[in-house]
């Protein structure tokens, strides 16, 4: 099981790394070529790179066994007429054999060479001759044809037409440097075909036209194959005429068109060679040679070559969606967390482990290993603050300052050695902690300055550098070492531009300058330098003299020097620092020419003083720094030589990465070996590789891809202009790096030449209608010229969904694939005119009673309303930007109209030209909202098209519908109405069906057919209806008309008729406060709903307290139609003087024998005056009688007593 986070985070958990010197977030610049300023060496790298390192993965013809097969044709230019014409056909095969010295050996085999001479012509010299044949011999043999093997046949004046077939083989040599032919040998080398009529000159004794046939054509031309990377590089003798597309047996290929420069003789004769070389492989896929001109001054004959077969891989690789740098970073992260490098029992990392071995191969723990991992891991993944705390707290931290170089697995310091690089790496690693580590960094800096920084002497005075001490810090080493001082420079440069202490910054900057001066000094003389007089850096110099102290030259030291020299320039940007860039470029070029492994790519390890290889192994540390140096030199050189743009330095970095993968990658354990002769993985090396890969990853993702088209107006192509569409894709590296003022921002904008470009052109529906593969030129540009689709699929500028799209996928070694899209519209020069003040007014519809405007992309101002059979006028306004009149097809169609299609001519440059056509509505069409479609088209595609809403009106109207206000019985009732034809275009017929649940038609059919109603005519209709037997008793009854027109239901009209009783009681009132004995007046209001008089009986009843009733009045009343008010007055026969208070009466109305209503009337009866007086008298009289009786009784008693 892989051990990950808990262990690795313990020691591999970091903060963001160095913002400046230590390579963080660097943006890479480039120059147009690797150059040598002044008299710099390695001229082969000035311009396109030589053979010192391999091409970036492209298939090539220059590999043993690869071949090219061509078909060859010679004859009249197509379309020209000529009776006396020589014709040649042949097959040609070129097969690569080997590389011999400075040239490639190629077999040239000609087969089926057939020569056919024209008709009889006594002025003709012709034949298949050896080039040694003189002009005089040709003239003497005017009437005879010859071959290399003797006379073919005798010919006489009127018989000179014959043909010959030949096959032969030749060995040709092509220079490895420029691809031109170096020479040829074989049995066809000296053969030519002669036909004097190919010459326009009448003086054939001075010039005889000749055709250099297959065996010598390419040698004269100078090219068969060119390095694809150099296709766009201008060289003497050739003119680049852009890119084009060529149809081949493999399909459509993108090609570079090259024109060889001919001498004046051939130019005057209008001879011309045109070569088409495949942009992906550099192979010649087509050639056309115009060899003469005719009397009219135009070319007459042409020689044409076409590639018809090859085993060169013309396929296009599909780019991987993964980023290989990111994958490698993940591999290293996993290995650091799971391998024996990780000391899980204690802390920190062991120095070395082999693959998946359980124990380390070297359990020593180096302080520099730890800080390299902190640096690299922090940039690639997460900050490693915990690991920094562990190393700072370990026994590696020396009490007297700095760090010990190493300790054993038990945590014991090995030998007490401390070097300046240990302290420098501590500064580099701690820079990820930001301002929190400033104190720590100052301590390391003071240690470096006080213990390791010292002076040396030379003939001209004193110089300063960093030296090594013994274990006791008492004895200074007599040598200064390049590696020590370069790592020290990285730390010093970071402090100079990032530390918060002004004194530290100033001292660090001064010391950094003195150190870098040992690798490049702008002055002349004997100032000490690690740079050897015969080039490259030695590993050490003597403190006492400044002279070289060793004969060894290290690739790692050279790469560190390139990096530091580049950084010094970028952090100064002064004229005095520009020489540092030159020194870095010179170093880089020397390494490419001397240290490059041509087989595996990448760099070897070391040389002696005279650049003789002493260690050809490939080391991971060397090549990791090579990638970093390449990237930073790219940036510095681009800043210095800002007008030259080339990605070559990054190409080298990618080649180095290829070597690391091929030679040093342990695919089984997903780690990287220390060297080609050392299968162990070293912690420090992996830390350096983490940093380098992070920089490569950053560059690989920092590109911009822009796609444009040659659309004449914005994103629109006008189809009729006949202009081919061209998409241009530009891909470039696009990064920037900021510095504190006054330093300028460094922008790295470099065209990505020699990059794959996949073009796909899609319709708006996403289907592909054209595609091609191409390669960018030296400006990072690839173009794709494609025909506009036919039919053109015209777009509507108001609708983005009709836009076509050019899609481009860019791919290049070392970069993540990039995609970009560009939409475009194909429009016609003829357009449907729209009033800018009234955008909806595109179409004008005119009918009998309406005018409506419609735009297919906006809501209509008013929907056109039509009747069936109506003819509608449509006016369309169109404009044209074209200089030639155009014909357009206007079509209207749909279910409700007769299809109308008409051709109209739009004049040149027409503006708002009106075109009117008539649309005839069908007769039998549904009513309501309908649609018709329109199309205005040309060239098989619609300029404008869409659907138009049309409202079809109902042509029939019912008017003056009249019937009884109510029903009272089962009598017959009359319904009358008029049927009107609203359609002014024709007679109409309608069916009207009377339907009801409770009503029925009397004396006629319930369905009426009313036919041939004239326009605007109204037909009266009468229907008698009554209640059905057994009808339901309802307050109202419903009936409806269903209108049917041409078997189509137009509408259903619903009506209601109330039901009433013959006589209805409206109200009944009675006396409210009558007195005893008075007349009681009752009022009864009745409505007679009958159409005749009738009578009712009104009875008035007295309701006794017991509930019994006594009739007190009855009256028969005659009622007229309508409301009748009846007054009934009567006396209550039960009145008595004491019957007062509430009294209840009941009024009952009877019609016929049926009561139709009754009402209870409550009256409050009061006493009359007479009864009141009688009562008073009676009471007082009673009191008097009682008084008299009492008084009389008392007298009697009194009388008795007496």
Judge whether residue 377 has pLDDT over 90: yes
Q: Are 14 and 374 in contact (CB under 8 A)?
A: yes
| One domain, residues 437 and 558 | yes
- Which pLDDT score is estimated for 524? 58
Q: Do 821 and 838 reside in the same domain of the chain?
A: no
The domain boundary residue, chosen from 1055, 1074, 1100: 1055
Residue 206 has pLDDT above 50, yes or no: no
pLDDT tens digits along 794-818: 776 455 567 889 999 999 989 999 9
Distance CA(161)–CA(138), nearest Å, equals 17
Q: Are residues 1050 and 1071 in the same domain?
A: no
Q: Which of 177-186, 309-318, 571-580 has the lowest mean pLDDT?
A: 177-186
**Is pLDDT larger for residue 51 or for residue 326?**
326
Lowest mean pLDDT among 43-52, 558-567, 858-867, 1049-1058: 43-52
Residues 98 and 174 in one domain: yes
Which pLDDT value is given to residue 6?
31
Domain stop point among 906, 924, 952 = 952
Residue 635 and residue 747 in contact, taking contact as beta carbons nearer than 8 Å: no
Is 316 a domain residue?
A: no
Q: Two tokens at 378? A: 């922090």
Residue 275 and residue 129 share a domain: yes
Q: Which residue has the tokens 């970009």?
A: 820
Q: Specify if 1088 maps to a domain.
A: yes
The answer to whether 654 and 813 have CB atoms below 8 angstroms apart is: yes
Regarding whether 1070 and 1047 lie in a shared domain, the answer is: no
Model pLDDT for residues 427-486, shown as the tens digit of each residue: 999 887 788 889 999 999 999 999 999 999 998 889 999 998 766 666 788 899 999 999
Say what the pLDDT of residue 459 is. Answer: 85
Would you place residue 21 in the very low, low, confident or very high pLDDT band (cuts 50, 70, 90)? very low
Task: From 310, 333, 364, give the residue that closes a domain.
Answer: 310
Instruction: For residues 578-582, give the mean pLDDT.
Output: 92
1149: which strand partners? 1098, 1157
Which pLDDT does position 209 carry in this prediction?
Answer: 43
In which residue are the tokens 């590993």 written?
539
Q: Percent of the chain, pLDDT > 70?
A: 80
pLDDT at residue number 1090 = 85
Q: What is the mean pLDDT of residues 576-580?
A: 88
pLDDT reading at 937 higher than 90: no
Q: What is the mean pLDDT of residues 384-392?
A: 90
At residue 367 the predicted structure's pLDDT band, cuts being 50, 70 and 90, is: very high
Give the Cα-Cα-Cα angle 346, 351, 356 (nearest 5 degrees).
85
pLDDT band at 1172 (very low <50, low <70, confident <90, very high): low
Decide if 629 is inside a domain. Answer: yes
What's 934's domain CATH number?
Answer: 2.60.40.10
Task: Inform me whether the pLDDT recorded for 171 exceeds 60.
Answer: yes
Residue, of 209 and 1153, whose pLDDT is higher? 1153
Measured distance CA(1027)–CA(1016) in Å, rounded: 35
Greater confidence (1 vs 180) lies with: 180
Q: Does the structure show a pLDDT above 90 at 166? A: no
Q: Give the C-alpha distances (Å, rounded to integers) separating 584 from 58, 310, 526, 559, 653.
A: 29, 43, 20, 9, 15
Residues 696 and 776 both lie in one domain:
no
- What whole-number percentage of the chain has pLDDT above 90? 38
Helix (H, G, I), strand (E, B) or coil at 264: helix
**pLDDT for position 190:** 64
Distance (Å, rounded) from C-alpha 1162 to C-alpha 1158? 13
Residues 938 and 1018 in one domain: no
For 802, residues 6+ apart whose C-beta sits below 8 A from its C-beta are 764, 793, 794, 795, 796, 825
Does residue 50 lie in a domain region?
no
In a domain, 675, yes or no: yes
For 861-900, the pLDDT digits (tens) are 567 888 888 888 888 888 888 888 989 999 999 999 989 9
Pick left, alpha or beta for residue 1109 (phi over 0 → left; psi -120 to 50 → alpha; otherwise beta): beta
Q: Who's near 920: CB < 8 A, 6+ residues apart?
A: 869, 870, 871, 872, 897, 898, 900
Query: Which carries the bigger pLDDT value, residue 959 or residue 56?
Result: 959
Residue 781 has a pLDDT of 92
Judge if 546 and 486 occupy the same domain.
Answer: yes
Q: How many independent structural domains does the chain possess?
A: 7
Q: Answer yes or no: are the C-beta atoms of 54 and 655 closer than 8 Å.
A: yes
Where does the pLDDT of residue 1138 fall: very low under 50, low under 70, confident under 90, or very high at 90 and above? Answer: low
Of the ranges 110-114, 132-136, 174-178, 982-986, the best mean pLDDT one? 982-986
- Mean pLDDT, to the nearest integer, of 524-530? 80
Q: Domain check: are 653 and 512 in the same one? A: yes
Q: Mean pLDDT over all residues of the chain?
A: 81
Alpha-carbon gap, residue 42 to 647, rounded angstroms: 18
Residue 553: inside a domain, yes or no?
yes
Most confident of 93-97, 109-113, 219-223: 93-97
Phi, psi torsion values for 1201, nearest 5 degrees: -60, -30
Measuring CA to CA, how many Å separate 913 from each of 838, 845, 867, 887?
17, 16, 29, 13
Question: Residue 127 belongs to what H/E stretch?
Answer: strand 126-130
**pLDDT of the residue at 649:** 92
The answer to whether residue 937 sits within a structural domain is yes
**CB 377, CB 396: distance < 8 Å:** no
735 contacts 748 by C-beta, under 8 angstroms:
yes
298 vs 254 pLDDT, higher one:
254
The span from the CA of 1039 to the CA of 1029, in Å, is 16
Q: Residue 205: how many CB atoms within 10 A of its CB? A: 11
Query: Which segment, 118-127, 535-544, 943-952, is predicted with the most confidence on average?
Result: 535-544
pLDDT at 950: 87
Both structure tokens of 935? 């199309």
What is the C-alpha separation between 49 and 356, in angstroms, rounded? 40
Q: Which of 376, 321, 370, 327 lies closest to 670 in space, CA to CA?
A: 327
Q: Are residues 165 and 115 in the same domain?
A: yes
Q: CA end-to-end span of the chain, whole Å?
A: 154
Give the confidence band of 145 by pLDDT, cuts at 50, 70, 90. very low
Q: How does pLDDT run across 248-288, given as a tens digit for each residue? A: 998 888 899 988 877 666 666 666 788 999 988 889 999 98
Q: Where are the alpha helices (H) located in 571-647, listed in sequence order?
A: 578-594, 620-640
**137 and 26 both lie in a single domain:** no
What are the counts of helices (DSSP H) followed by strands (DSSP E) for the chain?
A: 17, 62
Angle formed by the axes of helices 385-393 and 367-380, to 10°? 170
What is the tens place of the pLDDT at every residue in 896-929? 998 998 898 989 888 888 888 888 988 888 888 8
Domain that holds residue 1102: 1063-1167
Residue 1077 lies in a domain: yes
């Amino acid at each position: 099981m892989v051990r990950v986070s808990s262990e690795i985070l313990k020691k591999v958990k970091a903060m963001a790394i160095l913002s400046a010197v230590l390579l963080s977030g660097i943006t890479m610049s480039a120059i147009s070529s690797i150059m040598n300023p002044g008299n710099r060496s390695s001229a082969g790298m000035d311009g396109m790179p030589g053979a010192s390192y391999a091409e970036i993965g492209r298939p090539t013809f220059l590999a043993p066994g690869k071949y090219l097969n061509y078909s060859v044709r010679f004859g009249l230019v197509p379309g020209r007429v000529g009776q006396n014409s020589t014709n040649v056909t042949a097959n040609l095969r070129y097969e690569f054999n080997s590389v011999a010295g400075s040239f490639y050996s190629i077999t040239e085999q000609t087969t089926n060479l057939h020569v056919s001479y024209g008709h009889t012509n006594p002025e003709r010299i012709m034949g298949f001759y050896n080039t040694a044949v003189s002009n005089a011999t040709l003239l003497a043999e005017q009437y005879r044809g010859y071959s290399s093997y003797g006379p073919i046949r005798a010919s006489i004046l009127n018989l000179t037409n014959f043909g010959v077939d030949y096959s032969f083989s030749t060995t040709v040599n092509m220079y490895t440097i420029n691809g031109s032919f170096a020479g040829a040998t074989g049995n066809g080398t000296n053969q030519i075909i002669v036909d004097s009529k190919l010459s326009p000159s009448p003086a054939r004794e001075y010039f005889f036209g000749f055709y250099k046939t297959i065996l010598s054509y390419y040698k004269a031309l100078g090219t068969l194959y060119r390095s694809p990377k150099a296709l766009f590089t201008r060289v003497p003798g050739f003119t680049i005429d852009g890119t084009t597309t060529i149809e081949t047996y493999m399909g459509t290929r993108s090609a570079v068109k090259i024109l060889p420069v001919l001498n004046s003789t051939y130019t005057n004769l209008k001879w011309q060679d045109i070569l088409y070389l495949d942009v992906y492989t550099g192979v010649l896929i087509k050639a056309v040679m115009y060899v003469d001109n005719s009397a009219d001054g135009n070319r007459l004959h042409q020689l044409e070559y076409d590639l018809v077969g090859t085993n060169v891989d013309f396929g296009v690789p599909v780019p991987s969606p993964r980023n290989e740098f990111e994958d490698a970073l993940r591999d290293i992260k996993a290995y650091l967390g799971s391998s024996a490098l990780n000391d899980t029992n204690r802390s920190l990392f062991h120095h070395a482990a082999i693959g998946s071995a359980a124990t380390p191969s070297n359990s020593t723990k180096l302080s520099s290993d730890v800080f390299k991992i902190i640096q690299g891991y922090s940039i690639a993944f997460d900050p490693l603050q915990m690991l920094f705390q562990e190393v700072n707290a370990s026994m590696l931290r020396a009490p007297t300052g700095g760090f010990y170089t190493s300790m054993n697995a038990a945590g014991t310091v090995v030998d007490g050695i401390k070097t300046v690089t240990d302290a420098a790496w501590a500064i580099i690693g701690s820079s990820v902690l930001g301002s929190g580590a400033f104190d720590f960094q100052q301590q390391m800096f003071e240690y470096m300055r006080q213990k390791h920084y010292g002076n040396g002497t030379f003939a001209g005075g004193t110089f300063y550098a960093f030296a090594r001490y013994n274990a006791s810090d008492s004895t200074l080493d007599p040598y200064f070492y390049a590696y020590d001082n370069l790592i020290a420079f990285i730390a010093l440069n970071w402090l100079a531009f990032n530390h918060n202490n002004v004194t530290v910054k100033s001292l660090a900057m001064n010391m950094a300058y003195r150190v870098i001066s040992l690798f490049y000094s702008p002055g002349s003389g004997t100032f000490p330098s690690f740079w050897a007089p015969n080039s490259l850096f030695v590993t050490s110099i003597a403190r006492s003299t400044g002279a070289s102290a060793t004969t060894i030259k290290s690739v790692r030291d050279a790469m560190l020097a390139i990096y530091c020299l580049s950084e010094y320039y970028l952090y100064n940007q002064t004229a005095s620092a520009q020489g540092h860039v030159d020194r870095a470029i010179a170093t880089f070029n020397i390494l490419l020419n001397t240290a490059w492994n041509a087989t595996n790519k990448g760099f070897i390890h070391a040389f002696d003083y005279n650049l003789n290889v002493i260690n050809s192994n490939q080391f991971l540390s060397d090549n990791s720094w090579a990638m970093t140096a390449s990237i930073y030199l790219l940036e510095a050189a681009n800043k210095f030589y800002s007008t030259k743009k080339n990605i070559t330095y990054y190409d080298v970095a990618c080649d180095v990465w290829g070597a690391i993968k091929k030679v040093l990658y342990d695919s089984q354990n997903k780690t990287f070996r220390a060297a080609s002769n050392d299968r162990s993985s070293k912690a420090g090396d992996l830390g350096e590789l983490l940093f380098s890969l992070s920089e490569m990853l950053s560059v690989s993702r920092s590109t911009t891809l822009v796609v444009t088209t040659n659309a004449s107006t914005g994103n629109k192509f006008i189809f009729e202009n006949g202009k081919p569409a061209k998409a241009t894709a530009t891909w470039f590296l696009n990064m920037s790096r900021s510095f504190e003022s006054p330093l300028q921002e460094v922008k790295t904008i470099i065209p990505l030449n020699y990059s794959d470009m996949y073009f796909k052109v899609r319709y708006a529906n996403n289907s592909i209608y054209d595609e091609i593969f191409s390669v960018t030129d030296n400006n990072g540009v690839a173009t794709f010229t494609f025909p506009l689709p036919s039919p053109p699929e015209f777009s509507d500028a108001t609708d983005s969904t009709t836009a076509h799209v050019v899609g481009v996928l860019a791919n290049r070694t070392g970069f993540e694939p990039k995609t970009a899209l560009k939409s475009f519209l194909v429009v016609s020069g003829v357009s449907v005119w729209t009033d800018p003040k009234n955008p909806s007014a595109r179409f004008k519809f005119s009918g009998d009673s309406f005018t409506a405007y419609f735009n297919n992309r906006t809501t209509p101002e008013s929907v056109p309303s039509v009747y069936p059979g109506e003819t509608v006028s449509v006016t369309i306004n169109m404009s044209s930007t074209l200089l030639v009149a155009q014909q357009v097809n206007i079509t209207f169609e749909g279910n409700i109209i007769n299809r109308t299609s008409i051709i109209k001519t739009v004049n040149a440059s027409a503006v708002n030209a009106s075109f009117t056509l008539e649309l005839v509505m069908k007769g039998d069409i549904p009513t309501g909202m309908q649609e018709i479609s329109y199309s205005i088209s040309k060239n098989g595609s619609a300029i404008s098209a869409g659907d138009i809403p049309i409202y079809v009106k109902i042509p029939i109207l019912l008017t003056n519908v009249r019937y009884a206000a109510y029903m009272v019985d089962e009598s017959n009732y009359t319904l009358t109405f008029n049927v009107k034809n609203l359609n002014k275009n024709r007679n109409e017929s309608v069916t009207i069906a009377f339907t009801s649940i409770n009503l029925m038609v009397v004396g006629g059919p319930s369905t009426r057919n009313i036919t041939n109603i004239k326009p605007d005519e109204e037909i009266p209709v009468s229907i008698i209806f009554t209640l059905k037997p057994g009808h339901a008793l309802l307050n109202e009854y419903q009936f409806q008309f269903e209108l049917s027109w041409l078997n189509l239901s137009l509408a259903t009209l619903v009506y209601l008729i109330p039901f009433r009783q013959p006589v209805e009681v409206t109200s009944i009132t009675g006396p409210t406060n009558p007195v005893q004995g008075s007349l009681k007046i009752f009022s009864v209001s009745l409505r007679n709903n009958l159409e005749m008089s009738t009578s009712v009986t009104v009875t008035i009843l007295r309701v006794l307290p017991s509930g019994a009733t006594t009739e007190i009045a009855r009256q028969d009343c005659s009622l007229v139609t309508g409301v009748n008010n009846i007054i009934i007055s009567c006396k209550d026969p039960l009145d008595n003087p004491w019957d007062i208070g509430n009294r209840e009466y009941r009024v009952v109305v009877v019609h016929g024998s049926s009561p139709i209503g009754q009402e209870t009337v409550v009256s409050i009866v009061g006493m009359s005056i007479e009864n009141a007086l009688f009562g008073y008298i009676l009471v007082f009289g009673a009191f008097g009688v009682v008084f008299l009786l009492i008084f009389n009784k008392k007298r009697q008693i009194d009388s008795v007593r007496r």
